[in-house]
Amino acid sequence: MVNVLVVGSGGREHALSWKLSQSPKVDKVFTAPGNGGTENNVNISVEDLDGLADFAQKNNCFTVVGPEAPLALGIVDKFNEKNLKIFGPSKDAAQLESSKIWAKNFMKRNDIPTARFEIFDDPQNALDYLDSVDYNVVVKADGLAAGKGVIVCNGKDEAISAIQTILVKKTFGDAGNRIIIEERIDGIEASYIALSDGEVAIPMASSQDHKRIFDDDKGPNTGGMGAYSPTPIVDDTLAKKIQENVIEKTIQSMTKEGISFKGFLYAGIMIRDGEPYVLEYNVRMGDPECQPITMRMDFDLFDYFSSSAEGNLSALPSPTWKNQSAVCVVLASDGYPESYPKNEEITGFDSIPSNSFVFHAGTKKQDEKILSNGGRVLGVTALGDTLDSAISNAYAAAEKISWAHKFCRKDIGKKGLSYL
């Protein structure tokens, strides 16, 4: 038996902790720093790599890294130096997410399908470039910006504003010292996540995220307002194209460049005329995609994490999935992704039906009460025999939860119904 340390505090980490705790090979799951819903919380920051390594060593832990920040800092390299078992990509491999510019150049030199782009660090040069193109653009901060550093522009005025926001006003700090301006590819967006050991890549169940804050994909980008799995948008033909032309090509190209990619490889895909284009890479499980994906898992996740770390995924059978749909509705604090209230008591957890589970994100426990403690507070996730029934079940469960400034989108999963 082994203990597991899950690094992070969001809904993704609660979902991973929940699933890993079901493994017969796992004794105890710790979460650092965790939230109001996770058990065995350890008060260590995700960026305190030495503190996390010391804890893992003292408590015989296999470590699973949830968020991007510690991966970008090199937590995997540090643990490997200390001969501590850990799941996730190295600092070099994490550049696929930690630098959008590095990732775009990587895709370009390895012929991985993506939008055409240019790179700028000078606002005037960026504005001059805008004058030279006749298509809508997306403006991206180079570095990590908690899922908010991508501005999709409708027209030139919005593009000018985006350049000012990132390069002049420094809204994203040093993450916005350089920007990418790329052609906006309009189509259907999907999340494609695979698990790799550096050689093989096993696809996870397909999913689709809802990034914008308001219904009908209106308003600013967020970390994600809900997700569902599987998505009918990714059929077998398209899945094969993404697996071969994006995922496997990425893993092989990384190896060719001297970097072994172990961990979750997430490709944010835009589908135009049946062809997939990579919008961005993440080097970890998506949040909130993780919640419906883990609800559908019908296998021991710990086996796959340990095999990924050891480089022998090919020895495992293909993962099996529940023949049901799962939908996650994110309950947020009204005002997110800007300013929002905290420390409001949340009630209703006792009346959640058995087909649903509430994954905590921005919560904390205080005097046996659960209080809001972030922008995205909870991820109410439900199974259903069809996508339609999973949507109904998720919203029925979400209705049971209440606090003063609760907010959610009302259309999570509906775009999937339109493709059935």
Q: Give the pLDDT confidence score for residue 85 in this predicted structure.
A: 98
Fill in the DSSP letter of residue 316. S
Q: Are residues 150 and 233 in the same domain?
A: no
Q: Give the pLDDT confidence score for residue 162 in this predicted structure.
A: 93
pLDDT tens sequence across 286-317: 999 999 999 999 999 999 999 999 999 999 99
pLDDT tens sequence across 343-373: 999 999 999 999 999 999 999 999 999 999 9
CA distance 263 to 284: 7
Task: Mark which of 315, 340, 365 sits at the end of a domain.
Answer: 315
Q: Are residues 74 and 125 in the same domain?
A: no
Does residue 206 fall inside a structural domain?
yes
Does residue 139 fall inside a structural domain?
yes
Instruction: Based on DSSP, count helices (H) and strands (E) in the chain, helices before strands.
Output: 14, 23
Task: Mark which of 142, 162, 183 sits at the end of a domain.
Answer: 183
CB 74 within 8 A of CB 82: no
- Residue 168: CATH number of its domain: 3.30.1490.20
Q: Are residues 177 and 227 in the same domain?
A: no
CB 211 within 8 A of CB 409: no
Domain of residue 203, residue span: 188-315
- Residue 404: CATH number of its domain: 3.90.600.10
Q: Are residues 332 and 384 in the same domain?
A: yes
Q: Give the pLDDT confidence score for residue 148 in this predicted structure.
A: 77
Does residue 243 fall inside a structural domain?
yes
Fill in the DSSP letter of residue 193. E
| Terminal Cα-to-Cα distance of the chain (whole angstroms) | 44
Task: Mark which of 183, 210, 241 sits at the end of a domain.
Answer: 183
Q: Are residues 76 and 146 in the same domain?
A: no
Does residue 244 fall inside a structural domain?
yes
CA distance 287 to 209: 9
Q: Are residues 295 and 412 in the same domain?
A: no
CB 31 within 8 A of CB 90: no
Question: Within the chain, which residues score under 50 in pLDDT?
Answer: none
What is the DSSP code string of 213-270? EEGGGEEEE-S-SEEEES-TTS-HHHHHHHIIIIIIHHHHHHHHTT---EEEEEEEEE
- Residue 208: CATH number of its domain: 3.30.470.20
Q: Are residues 176 and 193 in the same domain?
A: no
Q: Are residues 197 and 307 in the same domain?
A: yes
Q: Give the pLDDT confidence score for residue 39 in this predicted structure.
A: 94
Q: Give the pLDDT confidence score for residue 145 in this predicted structure.
A: 84
Q: Give the pLDDT confidence score for residue 67 in this predicted structure.
A: 96
Q: Are residues 276 and 335 in the same domain?
A: no
Q: Are residues 395 and 337 in the same domain?
A: yes
How many domains does the structure of the chain reveal?
A: 4
Q: Are residues 309 and 351 in the same domain?
A: no
Q: Give the pLDDT confidence score for residue 221 in this predicted structure.
A: 84
Does residue 392 fall inside a structural domain?
yes
What is the DSSP code string of 369-391? EEEE-SSEEEEEEEEESSHHHHH
